[in-house]
Amino acid sequence: MESVAPEPRPHPLRRAARAVRHPPAALARRVRRATHAQGAGESGLGKLIELHAVNSAGDMMITVALASTIFFSVPTGEARGRVALYLLVTMAPFALLAPVIGPLLDRVPHGRRAAMAAAMLARALLALAMAGAVATGGLELYPAALGVLVSSKAYGVVRSAVVPRLLPRAFSLVKANSRVTLAGLLATGAAAPIGAGLHQLGEPWPLYGAFAVFVLGTFLSFSLPHKVDSAKGERRVRLARTHSEQDPGPAEEGEGGSGRRPGLRTVGVSVRAGLLANSSLRALSGFLTFFLAFLLREHPLSGLSAAFSLALVGVAAGTGNALGTAIGAWLRARGPEVIIATVLALALAATVTAAALYGTVLVTAVAATAGIAQALGKLSLDALIQRDVPEEVRTSAFARSETLMQMSWVAGGAVGIALPLIGPLGMGVGAAVVAAGAATTVRGLLTSAGRGTPHPRVA
């Protein structure tokens, strides 16, 4: 009986290469299965989820580089001045540019993939430009940072406009947005330690990493389905009504009248109240980001170091955001008005309690609650726009609402940087921001929820 010769064993180097290559390949397959599940792969939503993860990772690496230069590398007093300068040179021009971003992108609905790719490529080139200035923190850093900020927000506006075009049959819009947002949060969490590790090699290295990530994002933008560039059936939407819309003539009121152009204020109380409520929640987020960053560096939480205090609050906020996104996916589109009113009440209760009984646990609870409220509020606003805004203007409405949210964050951040570093005072200001949003919106939200809106309408 002939003996069978044993198969030759692979070379040790080949075995090592397989061992190194196998875990990343297996992880990539699992990520692809998760992002393409439930029809997201067939509709193209899976590719958008992956693109947004890349976008978030790149933004985080730039954030790590800027934070190490502007915030952590100098004493607190000088850091406040640097961040104030950053707000002045970047946020103030952005506040002027933000209202233009939505209408500008609204005029190029056939080039959404190109617009997203341009936003990625612009940040890649700006990251290289900042790499030369990040070590010194010179003034030339700030115009480049402004360009990164504007490009990032432009991408966010286009992404919001693209999602409705890629909905699988089994998905509601709130579920689709929650998946995209959750992918971004996970990518941010993964990119933060990578960026910190690159920073150990040298201050420019996180920016080199961001350059590589955004170049990848540039190519991935064009992998989205061609229907992303389709504008069939869409019309532009405005945040205010003209005189003719407030006092329509007989021809406009009649069936088939074409003089009345729908806007966000013409679709009922729900969307309008949802916008105002989310603006207050986004302003609270911006305020807490800047105020707590400086407060905890100068006055750490009881028994903790400054670094650990900042890490604790940051983890609480990130966890809250992820939890809110997960809850939003579970709730889907159920009672969005009630959800917004509820998160407003929770945020108000947390900030008022922290103002009265300032301490480690309550400050952490405020950060977590703000994260939950912002995530759930935004997802619920998406559901309201899906339900109440006619399909022909829905894409434009997402672009305009996203711009308004970003402007609110900027306004809250400006208050946070200017306020004295007194813990109870800051929590009180945060409570006042949320209270203003609740006072102007909760009644309208609950009334609208009780009345119901079974069909999209244009009032």
For 44, left (φ over 0), alpha (ψ -120 to 50), or beta?
Answer: left
Q: Residue 140 pLDDT more than 80? A: no
- Residue 390, classified by CB atoms within 10 Å of its CB into exposed (0-12), middle (13-18) or buried (19+), is middle
Class of domain 264-459: mainly alpha
pTM of the predicted structure, to 2 decimals: 0.72
The residue that leads in pLDDT, 139 or 151, is 151
**What does the pLDDT look like over 189-214, one tens digit per residue?**
888 889 888 888 888 888 999 999 99
**What does the pLDDT look like over 46-96, one tens digit per residue?**
888 889 999 999 999 988 887 766 555 545 555 566 666 666 666 666 666
Q: What is the mean pLDDT of residues 104-124?
A: 81
pLDDT of residue 278: 93
pLDDT of residue 443: 80
Contact by Cβ (8 Å): 387, 453: yes
Per-residue tokens: 279: 């603006």
How many C-beta neighbours within 10 Å does residue 90 have?
Answer: 22
Per-residue tokens: 58: 């790149």
How does residue 16 score in pLDDT terms, banded at 50, 70 and 90?
low
Q: Residue 103 pLDDT more than 90? A: no
pLDDT of residue 252: 35
Per-residue tokens: 250: 């007989």
How does residue 307 score in pLDDT terms, banded at 50, 70 and 90?
confident
**What does the pLDDT look like over 308-320, one tens digit per residue?**
888 888 888 888 9
Share of the chain above pLDDT 70, in %: 66
Q: Which of 97-111, 190-204, 278-292, 442-456 has the highest mean pLDDT?
A: 278-292
How does residue 256 score in pLDDT terms, banded at 50, 70 and 90?
very low
Share of the chain above pLDDT 90, in %: 18
What's the whole-number average pLDDT of the chain? 75
Per-residue tokens: 172: 């509601």
pLDDT of residue 246: 42
Q: Which of 20-34, 117-131, 189-203 has the highest mean pLDDT?
A: 117-131
Q: What CA–CA distance (Å, rounded) separates 221 from 31?
A: 18
Contact by Cβ (8 Å): 63, 193: no
Contact by Cβ (8 Å): 50, 196: no
The residue that leads in pLDDT, 184 or 41, is 184
Per-residue tokens: 397: 């409405």
pLDDT of residue 215: 94
